Chain A
Amino acid sequence: MRRFDYASPATIDDALALLAGGDGAVRPLAGGTDLLTLMKADIATPERLIDIKRLAELDDAIALDADGLSIGALATLDDLEDDPLVRQLAPALAEAAAAAASPQLRNMATIGGNLLQRPRCWYFRSSLVHCWLKGGTECQARDGENALHALFDQSPCVAVHPSDLATALVALDASVRLRGPAGERSLSLGEFFAPPTDDRRTENVLAPDELILSVRIPPPADNARGTYLKAMDRKVWAFALVGVAATVARDGDRIGAARIVLGGVAQTPWRAREAEDLLVGQRPDADLFARAADAALAGAAPLADNGYKIPLARTLIRRALAAVTADGAPPA
């Protein structure tokens, strides 16, 4: 790993001032589990790290109020997996956290850092390749080894978003509170995640001198249930080949509202709006779930090696919908 300077400012304002002067060469350090991985491989080469875990104003608190559940940016994946409020009000998030990384990493990894982790595309993670996402001119994966890559084409880059939490949080209609030099702003995660463009080669619209302060999940609708399912190369401790988060609110014997979000298929968490539209107002049954799953994947444009993700995603959607509409289980 290259040398860098380390700073541990006392206040958020001090941290923001250090970030603002840094021109991208200054990075916040939370748990370090992705940043250090990138730095060891020379993919990220910051000159200075700003330790945000020691900021008294930034916290890991998980609290409930009239606007829903608020989660401090420093909450760890382990906190989310075990927290009674999260398990009760946002089980899809608890399940996503439990399915991510490994226990020792979940003790360090924060929710803020998880949403900002970079793609796992093997070309991106290799110091030998200067691909488009790293500022180069070409995407090596598009016509290369792309078994782990996107089904939906949103940008010159076909890497997929690696975060399990992001998929669940979009299904939960969550938003992030950000603070930069100009003050605070809130963005829904649907706006926060954005496919990279020529001018912004990142997977979100966070500015280099902004911090994530917290994540907010609105109160669940009456009779709402949610879940997160993840397909992996091995049963535990791998990134999602496909992840599916579904939240469904019942209206009598019909579906009142639904969100279906896919991970592992696009540069950002992918909302299957066609499937959602098809579900609303209908009585849940296996035939409906199969049609919703087909609708969700209808627009998929597989690359040479990743066509297997289509039946995988369809199956996970059907299973997730069956799980959240099964009778007998208590609403959660």
Chain B
Amino acid sequence: MATVPVTVTVNGTERTTEVEPRTLLVYFLRDQLGLTGTHIGCQTGQCGACTVQLDGEAVKSCMVLTVQAEGHAVTTIEGLAPAGTLHPVQAAFWEEHGLQCGYCTPGMVLTAEALLRDDPDPDDHTIRHAIEGNLCRCTGYQSVVQSVRVAATRMAEGAQPEPLLRRS
């Protein structure tokens, strides 16, 4: 059975390649493009570790075929802010301890960023509804909700990506 050509814009760069139709988007990103910030947990659409943005909307990349992304734009955690900088959502997770082991974090951050574009001032209920599809074994979610709230405030004040090195 034949491979098919696909062109997907990943983190702003157009990528053209041949894939087998059965190639899941998460494997295209990790194995072909080396973007291993997108994690794999369950592979059955439950955990949310593989969350990326497809045309700006959070989706589970283990439930999407690469051919379904043909002609569309994908954002992974690597592309959320310019290299060497942290997006305000990432900075807020850092400061508010929105992560512990970090396994869920790329997916959590991408879900949160998509929420804030849709609703820049979400209440706690809205934040919790938005992150329902991202499982976290560590934080108990409270600090994640707090991180998203802080990110919303910062972004309303005009926060921009900031250099990572300033923080270490």
Q: Is the CB of B4 within 8 A of A105?
A: no
Q: Is the CB of A36 within 8 A of B63?
A: yes
- What's the nearest-Cβ distance from chain A to residue B162, in Å? 28
Q: Is the CB of A40 within 8 A of B1?
A: no
- What's the nearest-Cβ distance from chain A to residue B128, in Å? 8
Query: In chain B between 99 and 127, which residues have their CB closer than 8 angstroms to a CB of chain A?
Result: 111
Could you say which interface size class chain A belongs to?
A: 20 to 34
Q: B21 near A: Cβ within 8 Å? A: yes
Q: Is the CB of A237 within 8 A of B1?
A: no
Q: A53 near B: Cβ within 8 Å? A: yes
- What's the nearest-Cβ distance from chain A to residue B110, in Å? 9
- What's the nearest-Cβ distance from chain B to residue A233, in Å? 13
Q: A308 near B: Cβ within 8 Å? A: no
Residue in A closest to B107 when the chains form the complex, CB atoms: A104
Q: B133 near A: Cβ within 8 Å? A: yes
In the complex, chain A residues whose CB is within 8 Å of the CB of B130: 103
Considering the chains assembled together, what is the distance between the CA atoms of A109 and B166 in angstroms?
Answer: 42
Residue in A closest to B63 when the chains form the complex, CB atoms: A33
Considering the chains assembled together, what is the distance between the CA atoms of A53 and B72 in angstroms?
Answer: 13
Q: A5 near B: Cβ within 8 Å? A: yes
Chain A interface mostly: mixed
A1-B22, A6-B4, A49-B21 as given contacts; A37 in contact with B60, CB under 8 Å: no
A40-B44, A237-B133 as given contacts; A107 in contact with B57, CB under 8 Å: yes
In the complex, chain B residues whose CB is within 8 Å of the CB of A5: 1-2, 21
- What's the nearest-Cβ distance from chain B to residue A184, in Å? 27
Q: Is the CB of A37 within 8 A of B133?
A: no
A32-B64, A36-B63 as given contacts; A104 in contact with B48, CB under 8 Å: yes
In the complex, chain B residues whose CB is within 8 Å of the CB of A78: 57
In the complex, chain A residues whose CB is within 8 Å of the CB of B60: 104-105, 108
Q: Is the CB of A102 within 8 A of B2?
A: no
Q: A185 near B: Cβ within 8 Å? A: no
In the complex, chain B residues whose CB is within 8 Å of the CB of A37: 44-45, 63
In the complex, chain A residues whose CB is within 8 Å of the CB of B63: 32-33, 36-37, 104-105, 108
Q: 6 pairs across A/B with beta carbons < 8 Å?
A: A5-B1, A36-B63, A103-B133, A105-B133, A108-B60, A236-B132
Query: Besides A5-B2, A6-B4, A40-B43, 4 other CB < 8 A contacts?
Result: A1-B24, A32-B64, A103-B111, A103-B131
